[in-house]
Structure 1
């Protein structure tokens, strides 16, 4: 398998002979207003350009959208993606939105969703160390497990913090590769996704798994840098199990 970091949460994954585009955001640098944050409050998003031409990543076999926040799907992606491509989403609400964009084959992920030789499984996640009202405002998010007889199992955790749901997913599916959104992105001092301590807990739960950190340094509300996470992993003895790709970089997992 090959996992290619594109930008923020956008990934391009070659898995079991299929190409999956994850959470596509194709906008040019500084297209969208900043998220409400005490950090970089005046900087427009994305903070960085796409590292590859759109044409290089807009023809996958399938698209997976973990949720519809602006840093996970945008109008520019909707414009460039072919409307007949299968698109997998978490629920009927997101399905209806994608259909309004003109997509013709929008499928809802479940515990066992077949796509050719790959089994996709939706996992429950929690978007932040926040209260009930905040979670309702942020809306539902999901993760996805990829399984195939020809490949190692991947757990794409998505926009979540470490919690019991993540622990249960690791326990249930025993992934060899875990992709974590690890920028500790925060809004008004409330952490919305994993930070370094969360990543350490993931490693402690699955010490033999290869961790890949994504969702870093591309939106104004990021907190944790690649450099800081790398140093933390080294200090805590799991740097050999953590890869932190730069935008555009490919990771080959065998």
Structure 2
């Protein structure tokens, strides 16, 4: 469970949305930490091993908004990094790219990350793309893998509803994604669900691994013309995860930093408060470190 002395500051910061209680790396007693960087970019640490997941490292406003999506006139990322990109990369032992959309693997990350860092991807197509970008140690996560004393399990999902995937152009744009479950001796199991909607694959992963911590991409992003049919999870899915695993800590990320997110931190905080699950749902500010 989340260290209680830090949970109070986190709940206050998340609920009133006045800023984060920042923790300096290395100051927490626990060896299992999750740091929210920005968007879907997080760092997951178990003991001496740290994974950087879905790095989007560009400066604020570096890219145009995603075409044919909600608020596409806004430029991405909508906010700056809370620390320098170099500080984000510092201490990283391996990178995990759940899929290669710009908001999970951008030009800045490709330029700044050391080319010899071990890098896990979901399939051969993504591996080939990233190798062509100059990375020398690209590994396909097929089933499970061991790294630095941590077992990684690949999980499934779908980046939108069956209705969206029935449209060839949208299916191509959305593509394939993966999630990852982290297990390590003496540590709580963490499930990074990835860019998926609520599906059987997610339910099966929750039932199989019974994770103590579930990281949800919860911004409910949408295409124009498909309002109410988000391509990632949202507030109702947060409640579904809580009902499936009432004792798990849910960490909500991937909100506000790119144009097509329709759910804000403030709105999610209000929702979980009204549902009586605010203690189970953690909504970290950019840069914030959670210790478990």
- Fold-level similarity (TM above 0.5): yes
The residue that corresponds to 1:86 in the other structure is 118
CA offsets, 1:185-234, max 9 Å, x none? 11113411001011111111111100000000000111001111111111
Asked if 1:95 is matched to 2:134, the reply is no
1:182 aligns with 2:205: no
The answer as to whether partners of 1:16 and 1:148 remain within 8 angstroms in 2 is no
Give structure 1 regions of 4+ aligned residues with deviation exceeding 4 angstroms: none
Shift of residue 111 of structure 1? Answer: 1.8
Higher relative contact order (CA 8 A, sep 6+): 2
- Aligned residue for 2:188, secondary structure, equals strand
Contact 1:230 1:239 in 2 (8 A): yes
Secondary structure of the equivalent of 1:114? Answer: strand
1:5 aligned residue? 36
- The question of whether the paired residues in 1 share the 8 Å contact of 2:154 and 2:180 is answered with yes
Show the counterpart of 2:156: 124
CA contact (8 A) 2:70 2:221 kept: no
What are the within-5 Å matches in structure 2 for residues 143-222 of structure 1?
Answer: 143-188=179-224, 189=227, 190-222=229-261
Name which one, 1 or 2, has greater alpha-carbon Rg. Answer: 2
Contact 1:182 1:224 in 2 (8 A): yes
Q: 96-105 or 32-41, which moves further after superposition?
A: 32-41
The size of the alignment, in residue pairs, is 253
- Tell me how far apart the structure 2 counterparts of residues 117 and 179 of structure 1 sit (CA, whole Å): 21
- SS in structure 2 at match of 1:212: strand
Secondary structure (helix, strand or coil) at the match of 1:178 reads strand
1:225 correspondence with 2:287: no
Deviation at 1:75, TM superposition (A): 1.2
Give, in whole Å, the separation in 2 of the partners of 1:204 and 1:75.
38
Equivalent position of 1:66 in the other structure: 98
Relative to its length, the structure with more strand (as a share) is 1
For structure 1, the 5+ residue unaligned runs are none
| Partner residue, 1:34 | 65
TM-score between the two structures when normalised by the length of structure 1: 0.96
SS of corresponding position for 1:239: coil
Distance 2:241 2:198 in 1: 7
- TM-score, scaled relative to structure 2: 0.84
